[in-house]
A and B are shown apart, each in its own frame.
Chain A
Amino acid sequence: MAIAIEKVKRAEATDTWYMPGILWGLLLTFKSLVLNLIDYIPSVVGVKKRQIMPTVNYPEEKYEYSPRFKGNHVLTVKKDGSLRCTACMLCATNCPADCIKITASEHEDPSVEKFPIAYEIDILRCVFCGFCEEACPVDAIRMGPEWQTPGVNGSEFIYDIKHLAYRPQLKGGIVSVLDEKERHEAGI
């Protein structure tokens, strides 16, 4: 049996040479710079509004994601402003990062029965998978478009009920779509 010889094609220098790629990238950057200047100078003198600037002046200007973006969590509220969460812990069960901690207690209103006295998300461990949102049977937890999570020490990254449901950005809280009272009255 003859031994088959296969010729391996080794990469040539022209294939592995990275300079063209870099220069191509720099050209793009340079193009943006020139375009920005053309755009920027008249806007500074007040002749024209800026139009084609592809970057934003973060942090003075902030980029808004769509409402469907899975960013920071929000705990929704009922119409009366109290927490919608029933402390069923399904979100905590479903969370792959094990970063939700809930302490449940007995509510004085027997039609509410169970509610969380503490609800904490360790946002540094969260992987923003959205499984909590998906597990929740009563639309009590959602992930919103906020994505900035600055903080100066560890404790600021543990989000509690006050932050999750009533932070100023939420303007008094977001109302859940599932109303328990209406369901009770409908006899469900």
Chain B
Amino acid sequence: MLKSVTSSGVAAPQATTGATSPQAKMVTISINGKEVEVKEGSTIIEAYYQSGLDIAHYCWHPGLSIAGVCRLCMVEIEGNPRLQIACNTTVVAGMKVNNSSAKVKDAVKWGLDFHLINHPLDCPICDQAGECGLQDQYMKYGQYDSEMGEQKVKKHKVVDLGPRVVLDSERCILCSRCVRFTDEVSKTHELGIFNRGDRAEIGTFEGKPLANNYSLNTVDICPVGALTSRDFRFRQRVWFLKNAETVCTGCSTGCNVKVYFNKEGLFRMKPVYNPNVNGHWMCDVGRDTYKFVNKEARLLEAKVVSSGKSQEMPAMELAKKLGATLRGHGTSAALVLTGSYSVEEYEAIVSYFKTDVGTKNIYHWINNPETFDSFDGLLFRGDKNPNTRGLLEVLKAQGISGSWKELVDGIGTGAIKTVVVAGPENQANFPDMKVKIAELSKVAKLVWLTSGKNAELDALTGDVALLPVKSYVEKAGSFVNHAGLRQQVDRVMTVVPGAVSLTELVDLMKEVGDAMTVKSTAATETVPAISANQIGQGRINNEFTLSRGVW
């Protein structure tokens, strides 16, 4: 397990204790009078998390080194006259720690008071409100009346640290999580703490903005509203949003994510801890993958263009028509697949083409062959598809090995008359979109399955049909990441009610003229392309995601 963490380059200094390694030796300590078993070598704060207990803290983060600067994680250790910080004290067998005594509570309360001395308390206009460490911990441990009579120190507000992150220095509690992130995880070292005492501020160096591909993680780990996301800023109050877990489709790493949405659509994405895939983080490119899902970007109705006339119709109707055309079409039909769809969908449509249509003309459209195998050393991969590996394995299992040249030649000679394209979901990742559309539109009949709108496709004349398909949040299915890890996701929400998944499309196409066969229960019954031992842990819950707040 640990191996997969380090091999994907995720810096996880405390991974030994964060991951559940069976060999770890356990020691017994007493927390708040309760005997608990914790892993040897854990810090006290980790012991609290391992046993599901609450402890106040700001600067400690399971994915970063220990700073010990916020002084909020105070505990009483028996035999020790003074309070100690839990994040930087290692447990020893028989240790008796306590954070429920009046002494600890008092220390936390006045620690909080110190943090809030110069805090502007502009919660009404602060994006963090509702998921703020200050609000949460004040309600839990504070609830005092401020005893400060001094004026507050004024600092910089609305500072653009980079293209995606906005800083409000007044709200910052100088926990240094963001600085440690750029030092230890992204290793780009943009952020630093400048000045001293109550003038201390987070900042960047002249001409070196916070512009790395992981910058938005600093917004996530900032326990207060000091760092906010330029993209999400002011668009919604967080308490109006629901969330659900899924997998990012930005590249073949398949980071585990939470999408935040309401009835208007998706608003933002945050990483979910999974030691086998992404650790605690995700990249900034991946955070934009909610945009093409929203209604503005989507194809809402099916559209058929023939002999110069265009007509809109429900996707279901077009699917049935297609079924009638494709049934028994034979080798003059071809299917083009991109790596955006789920394994189940590939299995359904590939076996439909093989058995019902009667052709093995199935081709894989690779978007950016030059950068396909590149990797930035942390998470982001050059293969910007969520499921290339799943697609390849399905194609292999079904014995399909067509080259793109065959398809182009087939179209050129007129041997291929109908092409069905399961087009890309994230069109921005397909720089060759225009070229491919031009190439494929030479065929006599083109059927393009797409979740998003596209101006070039809309402008096509000739015999063309566009059919709206579901995006990754609208269907259940599994994606196989670069390492062969199969991750199952559930449906999150419906954005375009009329859209269908490829599996549903196949079912609809099969219904036509096929009253004799029982309605297919999709291709889940076909040979599983990925053997069981490759089905690894998908999205997991663990001590950190369970008991921590969002910050």
Interface string of B127-165 (1 = CB under 8 A from A): 000000000000000000000001110100110000000
A-contacting 9-mer, from B233-241, B270-278, B473-481: B233-241
- Contact status of A93 and B124, CB under 8 A, knowing A105-B234, A106-B234, A111-B157: no
- B125, A114: Cβ atoms under 8 Å? yes
- B151, A187: Cβ atoms under 8 Å? yes
Contacts of A113 in B (CB 8 A): 122, 125, 157-158
Contacts of A137 in B (CB 8 A): 124
Q: Chain A interface secondary structure, helix, strand, loop or mixed?
A: loop
Q: What separation, in Å, do the CA atoms of A105 and B123 have in the docked complex?
A: 16
Q: Contacting A104 at CB < 8 Å: which of B123, B158, B234? A: B234
- A106, B233: Cβ atoms under 8 Å? yes
Q: Contacting B125 at CB < 8 Å: which of A87, A93, A186, A188? A: A87
**Size category, B interface:** 10 to 19
A133 shortest CB reach to chain B, Å: 15
Interface string of B106-129 (1 = CB under 8 A from A): 000000000000000011110000
- Contact status of A93 and B234, CB under 8 A, knowing A110-B157, A111-B157, A137-B124: no
B84 shortest CB reach to chain A, Å: 36
- B152, A87: Cβ atoms under 8 Å? no
Interface presence of A89 (CB below 8 A): yes
Enumerate B227-250 residues with CB–CB distance to A below 8 Å.
Answer: 233-235, 237, 239-240
Pick the most buried of A93, A110, A114, A138: most chain B CB atoms within 10 A of its CB. Answer: A114
Contacts of A106 in B (CB 8 A): 233-234
- A86, B157: Cβ atoms under 8 Å? no
Q: What separation, in Å, do the CA atoms of A161 and B150 have in the docked complex?
A: 38
Pick the most buried of B123, B152, B233, B234: most chain A CB atoms within 10 A of its CB. Answer: B234
Enumerate A73-117 residues with CB–CB distance to B below 8 Å.
Answer: 86-90, 93, 104-106, 110-111, 113-114
Closest to B121 in A: A188
Contacts of A104 in B (CB 8 A): 234-235
Q: What separation, in Å, do the CA atoms of A187 and B150 have in the docked complex?
A: 8
Q: What separation, in Å, do the CA atoms of A188 and B154 have in the docked complex?
A: 10
Q: What separation, in Å, do the CA atoms of A105 and B127 have in the docked complex?
A: 12
- B124, A88: Cβ atoms under 8 Å? yes
Q: What separation, in Å, do the CA atoms of A87 and B233 have in the docked complex?
A: 12
Enumerate B203-255 residues with CB–CB distance to A below 8 Å.
Answer: 233-235, 237, 239-240
- A88, B125: Cβ atoms under 8 Å? yes
Q: What separation, in Å, do the CA atoms of A90 and B237 have in the docked complex?
A: 9
Apart from A104-B235, A138-B124, A186-B151, list 8 A-B contacts with CB within 8 A.
A88-B125, A89-B237, A89-B240, A110-B157, A110-B158, A111-B157, A113-B125, A187-B151
* Interface, chain A (partner B; CB < 8 A): 86-90, 93, 104-106, 110-111, 113-114, 137-138, 186-188
- Interface CB pairs A-B, < 8 A, 5: A86-B125, A87-B234, A89-B237, A93-B240, A104-B235
The 8 closest A-B pairs by CB, nearest first: A187-B151, A88-B124, A110-B158, A114-B125, A104-B234, A89-B237, A86-B125, A110-B157
